[in-house]
Copies of this chain bind each other. A is one copy, B any other.
């Protein structure tokens, strides 16, 4: 295709600009089997920022025992001092916050669950206990004028509980904001959502006083729904979208393809719609193709595959 870029044809009722919260280096690499060397991660994050991504979640200050892929957070973060992007980091608890603050992190994220079963399995706590754990973390971050994002996983379906009631999600979302979180990221962790469900949740949050400006959406492409769900969220007024460069985080050949929305597929749509992102699709695709080589497998992003023409 001449130029290999989408034609720009705006549609009514969409935001003029979207902020992409790039999660490939954290959520993506955390879920890849390969443990990537620290220097490669640093180069990856530099390249992502160089492609125009203004927010690149960098790593997680979780105990190394739980996430060996990100056990090098202390070594990695100082290598990023000259990255021209916001670099939020995940902190699971007060100890993680101490480590992040000591290295100069200015944006953190806590990781909550909308369901009791996932809270128990992922955090070994009830939902209320996890909120109690976050309370001093968020309070101290706010004292330090650090921006806090609250991830909320299993917002649509849960592998053990099935459908998750919208009311339940709204309750935990409000609690995270009441703790002091600056923004939420609504996660469809198992990728089951469809556009009507997305709208129903966003509408219920709006009725509970949570504006679209405080909401990011975080869709997984397990059933191929992530981009359609994103379109529905944009039509509602959401302007923050999580995505993972190259679709990192879900191997297309794995038993259950639980990958994140690929940033390139998102940027293709937003470029076509004339929605500004600041991202250079060509540079981003080259970065993801480069990382796919380091991981030793093709990217699950359809746009990366189509534009890089490297598979046979």
Contacts and interface: CB of A to CB of B under 8 A. Distances in A.
This chain's copy number in the assembly:
2
Instruction: Say which size band chain A's interface belongs to.
Output: 35 or more
A11 interface: yes
Instruction: Choose among A196, A253, A256 the residue with the greatest number of B CB atoms under 10 Å from its CB.
Output: A196
A9 B224 contact: no
A301 to B, nearest CB: 7
Given A196-B9, A257-B302, A273-B194, A225 B162 contact: no
A192 to B, nearest CB: 6
A277 to B, nearest CB: 13
Interface string A262-288: 100100110111100000000000000
A9 B228 contact: no
Nearest to A265: B224
A306 B222 contact: yes
A191 B290 CA distance: 24
Interface stretch (A15-23, A153-161, A207-215): A153-161
Given A231-B228, A303-B223, A306-B223, A190 B253 contact: no
